Structure 1
Amino acid sequence: MDKLSGSWRRVFEKFWFVPAVCVLAAVVLAQSAVAVDRWLPEDLDSPWIAWLYAVGIDGSRSMLSAIGGSMLGVAATAFSITISVIATASSTYGPRLVRNFMADRGNQVVLGVLVSTFIYTLLVLRTIRSASDDLAQPFVPHLAVNLAVLMAVADVALIVYFIHHIADSVQVDTLVHGVRRRLLHVIERWHPEEVPEELVRTAGRPGGGEVPAGGTGYVVGVDYERLRDHAEACDVFVELVPRVGDHVLPAEPLVRVWPEHRAEELAGRLRRCVQVGDSRSAHQDVRFAEQQVVELAVRALSPSTNDPYTAVNAIEEVASGIAVAVSRPLPGNTVVVDGVHRLRYRTVGVEEVVDMPFDQIGPHATGHVSVLLALVDLAARIEAASVHPSVRRQAREHVDVLLDRFRDGAPHPRDLARVEEHVRLRSAG
């Protein structure tokens, strides 16, 4: 179910989740390896353990202490580097991209493996016994010690990977490609090539019994299947009022129910189908996924950054998602079950998807001819890919607005002639 998967997804994206799993695995591995060592014969000449690198009691303790101490120090360094990268990315590319770094599996795995190596060596170290101890007979877990050496070797390779990965993750190309993939994923979700038969487009109904949101936050996920099942089981029609990504207040309507006298009865079940959180997510939110790409371009054009090349790159990448949306039929907004309308929700129109880059990047592009030309190219791509006549007209109108804005800025005649010629060629092509 969407709500359950959405809740688990938010847990999986937490920075602590993978390290916690690695630590748990280290505890299990340490206990299992020591248990196997206790089962193996103690005679070092035995063929069962002849293949192991056998080290004495003092040597094993020294080796495990060196591995555990060094890995903990390296883990602290890796964590410091990660925090530094997050701070830099937040100030340069925008705070909404920080969650992409926090959810990065590479960073989580590196920190988790390094910390788990320390935990593993600590747990194995406590099982080593010498003849001078007051407890049991002398015991050295040779298998567990050898595993610690292998983990240390693997950690060295992991550190090399981490240095490469953290350097690659802050490159503009990597950031832009990442947000583009998320945009394409959510576009494909909401704009399929073929609209399912159970989905149709209808207008909203007046009236209805309102179920208030009951909390403050953003609508980050909706379990549409569960809403449909509730509507079908209770023989009602349900309309979701806000779209995914909208901000709601406790008294604002979350859903409407027909017949309206059933609203209070179903309020609890319907609220549980809608996930409200403190921050937006790109999983179901088309606008937020597109906004992340557009924000890169807007921040690149700020006076403090002044990087029009990154803005051009972001415009070229957002074109891939918009082209898919405008080339598909309009998505349905009403679920029909056995010929009966059961659930209606608001969708993000293709016009809104097209407007965002022009409305948000356009005002900042008049001082950069290369960015302006990239927006003109974007409009031409949209016009060529769209199957909706209204969207093609909309793209041409955006080009006219860009030209008017550019002329109002009193550009150099050469720049103006260059832009006008580019517009003419793209319009003719």
Structure 2
Amino acid sequence: MKGAWLRVREWTGEFWFLPAIMTVMALLLAWAGIQAEERYGIPERLTWVYSGGESGARSLLSAVASSAIGVAGTVFSITIAALSYAAGSMGPRLLDNFTRDRGNQTVLGTFIATFAFTLFSLRSVQGGEDNPFVPHYNITVAMLLALACVAALVYFLAHVTRGINMTAVVNLLRDDLRRTLEQATRDHTEADRPAAPPEPFWTSGEVLRSPDSGYLQLLDTQALTAAAQRDGVALRMLVRPGDYVFPNTPIAVGVPRLPDGVLPALALGPRRVAGQDLEFTVRQLAEVAARALSPGVNDPVTAIDVIDRFGDALCRLHGRRWTSGVVYRDHQLRLVYPVTTYGGLLDSMFHMIRQYGSASPAVILRLLDVLSVVADGEQDEGRQWELRRHAELTMEDARRDTKNSRDLEEVEARYRSLQERWSSGEGTSESPSPVEPRRITS
């Protein structure tokens, strides 16, 4: 069910979907206007309705139709060119955001719907003395649609200008990350998480191999749990959303056998999508920072903005924890599936930024500051250890790549302050907590 909903959501989010709906509605409106005028005529009290003749109607409708489609084609062509250029420094997410933005779709739909409406109305204009007909209602509506196109053009230019802004793109990705983290974590006040069985438990199980390939976009845990409970088996998934599934590779193990309905609960696609794939959302922000730190762009301010957004997301995790990925029903193990861990999340956030920004003292200092702020409010020892690990990795790269001795002294001072906080009892022990094993991602 979730897989079908994901496909429907992807389909309705396409750039053409809303303009197509608006165009169909415009054609129906044009037909209804012509039918209403042919059947009932124009009441005398409607003085605001267009009252010109056949020649003026043709000229007006032709002008509106040609202007609407001409302006739409020109403006959108120039905009796509500008977006393609801007996407070189922000990543492909910018173009995806443009095509899926409902405001942009509505503007395109307004122009195309106006063109379709006026063209349909134009074909009904008839001259001569035998059976003349002028669709006065439709011409009036066409004039209103022309004004709507002018307003849509002004809105579109302002909207796209804001959308190309780097801060707007970063904030958009931050909002996606917040929503995904909210779905992936639970409050600490919930019941203790069940433990998964040891590895030997699965050695005698039946293995399911993937018949197809692609990115795993959705894992319907409710359907998988129901299938395992129905057949009285335990099911372990070997892949998680965001993994690329290769053909004929193991994706699930069932003990003592595989339940029916495993493959329908999985959705494969040609690209990664936000939702269950937490690391995809993180990597999009990390990619913005990595591009900003490339020699061709050299924009450390944007990288610092991304680091701040990551700190915002990590601070929101205080008091929350990951789901265990272990599901019991009626005191029987039914499903085990892999989940993102805190360590894996930090790796996705900071590895690329640290590697590309190791020669930028401003980036290193801000990264240490954010790790310090996150550590101040974090009480979990395992998470504290992961934060300390990233601080040590950051410092090691800074010592190797920082050229200026004064800059290095400032970085060292910031790192010593962080170490003193940990050693004074606000930190943690020397080993990570076994509660949250770390899944390292490249």
- TM-score, L = length of structure 1: 0.91
Task: Please say if residues 184 and 322 of structure 2, whose CA atoms lie closer than 8 Å, have aligned partners that are also in contact.
Answer: no
**Structure 1 CA distance, aligned partners of 2:93 and 2:303?**
17
Matches within 5 A, 1:257-336: 257-260=254-257, 262=258, 266=260, 269-325=261-317, 327-336=319-328
Structure 1 residues 306 and 357: CA distance shift in structure 2, 3 A = same
CA-to-aligned-CA distance 1:118-153 (integer Å, 9 cap, x gap): 0010011111222257xxx22222111111111110
Distance 2:34 2:138 in 1: 6
Amino acid at match of 2:212: G
Residue identity matched to 2:186: P
8 Å CA contact 2:216–2:240 kept in 1: the answer is yes
Contact 1:198–1:336 (CA under 8 A) maintained in structure 2: no
Choose which of 76, 82, 93 in structure 1 pairs with 2:79: 82
Contact 1:326 1:350 in 2 (8 A): no
Change in CA separation of 1:338 and 1:10 when aligned onto 2, cut-off 3 Å:
same
| 1:16-415 pair list within 5 angstroms | 16-42=16-42, 46-47=44-45, 49-132=46-129, 137-193=131-187, 200-203=194-197, 205-207=201-203, 208-260=205-257, 262=258, 266=260, 269-325=261-317, 327-409=319-401, 411-415=403-407
Q: CA deviation at 1:56?
A: 1.4
Residue 40 to residue 202, structure 1, CA distance change in 2 (3 Å): same
Residue 200 of structure 1: SS of its match in structure 2? Answer: coil
Q: 1:41 to 1:409 in 2, by over 3 A?
A: closer
Q: How far apart are residue 329 of structure 1 and its match?
A: 2.2
Q: Judge conservation of contact 1:238–1:258 (CA < 8 Å) in 2.
A: yes
1:251 to partner: Cα distance: 0.4
CA shift digits 1:184-236 (9 cap, x unpaired): 11110001325866973424542321222211111011222222222223333
Q: How many angstroms does 1:310 deviate by? A: 0.6
C-alpha distance 132-188 of structure 1, shift in aligned 2 (>3 A): same
Provide the alpha-carbon RMSD of the alignment.
2.1
One-letter code aligned to 2:63:
A
Count of aligned pairs between the two proteins: 418
Structure 2 spans left out of the alignment, 5+ residues:
422-442
Is the CA contact (8 Å cut-off) linking 1:131 and 1:138 kept in structure 2? yes
Distance 1:387 1:330 in 2: 15
Any idea what SS the aligned residue of 2:379 has?
A: coil
Task: Give yes or no for contact 1:2–1:224 (8 Å, CA) kept in 2.
Answer: no
SS at match of 2:354: helix
TM-aligned CA distance change 1:331 to 1:107, over 3 Å: same
Q: Could you tell me how far apart the structure 2 residues matched to 1:194 and 1:148 are?
A: 59
Give the distance between the partners of 2:17 and 2:379, measured in 1 at CA.
Answer: 44
Query: Kindly tell me: are residues 160 and 428 of structure 1, through their superposed partners in 2, closer, same or farther at Cα, counting changes over 3 Å?
Result: farther
How far residue 428 of structure 1 moved from its aligned partner, in angstroms, is 5.2
Q: By how many angstroms is 1:403 displaced?
A: 1.8
**Which secondary structure state, in structure 1, belongs to the residue aligned with residue 316 of structure 2?**
helix
Code of the residue aligned with 1:159 in structure 2: it is L
Identity percentage over the alignment? Answer: 30
Cα gap change, 1:101 to 1:329, in 2 (>3 Å): same
Partner Cα separation in structure 2 for residue 52 and residue 194 of structure 1: 65
What is the alpha-carbon distance in structure 1 between the residues aligned to residue 191 and residue 75 of structure 2?
51
Distance 1:325 1:67 in 2: 54
Q: Is the alpha carbon distance of 1:36 and 1:197 closer, same or farther for their aligned partners in structure 2, counting shifts above 3 Å?
A: farther
* Separation in 1, partners of 2:82, 2:11: 22
Aligned-partner Cα distance in 1 for 2:72–2:16: 14
CA distance in 2 between partners of 1:20 and 1:152 (Å): 19
Are the aligned partners of 1:322 and 1:353 in contact in 2 as well (CA < 8 Å)? no
Q: What is the CA-CA distance between 1:410 and the residue it aligns to?
A: 5.3
Three-state SS of the structure 1 residue aligned to 2:49 is coil
Q: Aligned to 2:322, what secondary structure does the other structure show?
A: coil
- The question of whether the paired residues in 2 share the 8 Å contact of 1:380 and 1:427 is answered with no
TM-score normalised by L of structure 2 = 0.89
Find the residue that maps to 2:208 and give its secondary structure: strand
The alignment partner of 1:281 has SS state of coil
Moved more, 175-184 or 90-99: 90-99
